[in-house]
Every structure is written in structure tokens, then in C-alpha cells.
Copies of this chain bind each other. A is one copy, B any other.
Amino acid sequence: MKVGFIGLGQMGAAMAGNLVKAGHEIVVHNRTQSKAKPLTDLGAVFAASIADACKGDAVVTMLADDLALETVVLGHRGIIECLRPGALHVSTSTMSIAMSRKLTEAHAAAGQKFVAAPVFGRPEVAQAGKLAVVAAGEAASVEIAAPIFAAIGQKTFVISDMPWRANLLKLSGNFLIASAIESLGEAIALVAKGGIEKAQYVEILTSTLFNVPVYKTYGSLIAGGKFEPAGFVAPLGQKDIRLALSAAEELQVPMPIAGLLRDRFLSLLATGGEALDWSAIGALASRDAGITP
């Protein structure tokens, strides 16, 4: 397939690389051109504009937030303007359900296909081509996107013909991860203040009840108090909890843990945590208990 790829952050660059390796003809675009270098070395072509990335069968986006999507997709000389009718936009970004609906309508009006396909996995998982892809959109569009999903992920789950539902599922998943981080933070503060060795504690938990990468990764980060370099920075975590709460407000679903997580992120950002991994909220319970995280 001839595919454009827009957004070469840690996640996007890894995903675009796997599309090149799978033999697709990839044209990459990024605001900062230097980030495209490793991909052009692999055989991708650099596009100086969004329009130049929109000349193929499909364009994939991996952008940081709603604002970037607004600009890249709906803005002047953006995807809606430049993609040919009948071509496909696959959005892998985490976005609000409101933005997802807005993009669905705009693409429909322009006669273009649209699939929301947010992914689960940190950058190293993306690198390995082992992401989990949650896709939603019209069946025919999802089918066209299948080779793209095969290149970037290990498993694809098709959940609905309405794209925004995939974005809702992604937000709920990030909420669950943040909940696990916060509860690990509280448990570690409790046992550490009781004199139990933190690393041994995490080892026991993650070789029994919670033998799964989410708990292993974040348990070690919290026990070690090591939140740099960030795999996923705190402001992005904060944004996802905000989007989950915003979906919860629209759907009228009270979520008390989500409310608590919002405050944890505010406290982390208020005390200089902008550059830290989002799991640094897991150190706040120790701080509140008067012990060194």
C-alpha cells in the first residue's frame, strides 16, 4: 500500500518504521523534519507538507492531542482538504470522543473513509510491532486498514462501526493503567513505611497476583523512584484522565477514582513533574506519608 504517516514522536516513528519494514511505500511527515531521518534511512520518503503525505491510498496519524488533530486534519491544507475522495484516514491518536465524532463527520462530508484505531503499548512495544490495536469504523474501511494493523500490532480488536467508541475504549484503558499506578503507589507507601523492602515487595506482587507488564513496569519505576527518561510524560497522562472524565461527564458516569487521579496529576504538575513519566503520580502517596519516594 502507498501510505502517508503524519506524527513522528516516539510512538509514531516506531510504527512508521514497522510499516516501511513490512514493505509498504511510506511517505512520512513531521513538523520537525529531523525526526524523519531514521525513517528516510530505512527507505521512507519525506513529505514537506501534509498535502504531500496525502497522495496515497491511506494516511495514518499519530498526534499528541485534540489540538494537533484539529490543525492537521481540519486545518488549512490539512487532511480533509488534501486526501482524495474514497481514500482512508486511520487515526491512531488518543483523542476525545467529541473530536472523534467531529472527524468522522468531516471525513464523511468529504467522501473519505475514517477509522479510529488507538493503540495500547509503550514505545518499546511499538518498536517491536507488538501493539494492541482497537479499531472502529465502517467494516469496509476497517478491512482496507488491515495490512496497516498487521504491520504495527500483534492483535487487532474491531469493536464497532462508530469510530468514537474505539477512542472511548482507549481512554478507559489509560484510566485503568493510571488507577493501577496510583494504587501501587499507595500500597508501596504503606509497606515501605512498615519496613518492607520496596523492590522485594514489587517482585512478590508481580510474580503472583499481578504478573503482568503494567504492574511490573510501573511497580519498578515507583519502587526505584526513577521517572526519567519518560516513556509517556505526565502532561499526556493528565490529558487522558481529563478526556476520560469529559467522556464520563457527557455519558453521565460518576468515576470517583478518575476524579482522584485528576487531582494527583494536578499535584504532580504543580510540584515540577512536567518532564517526568506519568507513573510519578505513584510517588505522591509516599511524599504524603513523609517518606522518600
A positions within 8 Å CB-CB of B: 97, 120, 132, 134, 155, 157, 159-160, 162, 165, 168-169, 172-173, 175-177, 179-180, 182-184, 186-187, 189-191, 193-197, 200-201, 204-205, 207-214, 244, 247-248, 251-258, 260, 285, 288-290
Contact = CB atoms under 8 A, between A and B. Distances in A.
Given A183-B257, A184-B176, A200 B252 contact: no
A169 B196 contact: yes
A268 to B, nearest CB: 14
A209 B288 contact: no
Contacts of A201: 169, 172
Nearest to A253: B289
A121 B27 CA distance: 52
A191 B155 CA distance: 20
16 contacts: A132-B209, A165-B194, A175-B190, A177-B209, A179-B257, A180-B183, A182-B257, A186-B253, A186-B257, A190-B248, A212-B212, A252-B289, A253-B289, A254-B285, A256-B260, A260-B260
Nearest to A194: B168
A195 B97 CA distance: 13
A220 to B, nearest CB: 15
A165 B196 contact: yes
A30 to B, nearest CB: 28
B175 A187 contact: yes
Q: Which 8 A-B pairs have the closest CB atoms?
A: A179-B183, A132-B208, A253-B289, A172-B187, A186-B255, A212-B212, A193-B251, A168-B194
Given A165-B195, A187-B175, A190-B244, A207 B155 contact: yes
Given A157-B200, A175-B183, 15 more contacts: A97-B194, A132-B204, A159-B196, A160-B195, A162-B195, A165-B194, A176-B183, A179-B179, A189-B253, A209-B214, A211-B212, A252-B289, A253-B285, A253-B289, A257-B257
B155 A168 contact: no
Given A179-B183, A209-B173, A251 B196 contact: no
A123 B285 CA distance: 32
Contacts of A157: 200, 204
A258 B186 contact: yes
Contact of A191 (B172, B177, B288): B172
Contacts of A289: 251-254
B120 A169 contact: no
Contacts of A196: 159-160, 165, 168-169
A196 B161 CA distance: 11
Nearest to A263: B256
A199 to B, nearest CB: 12
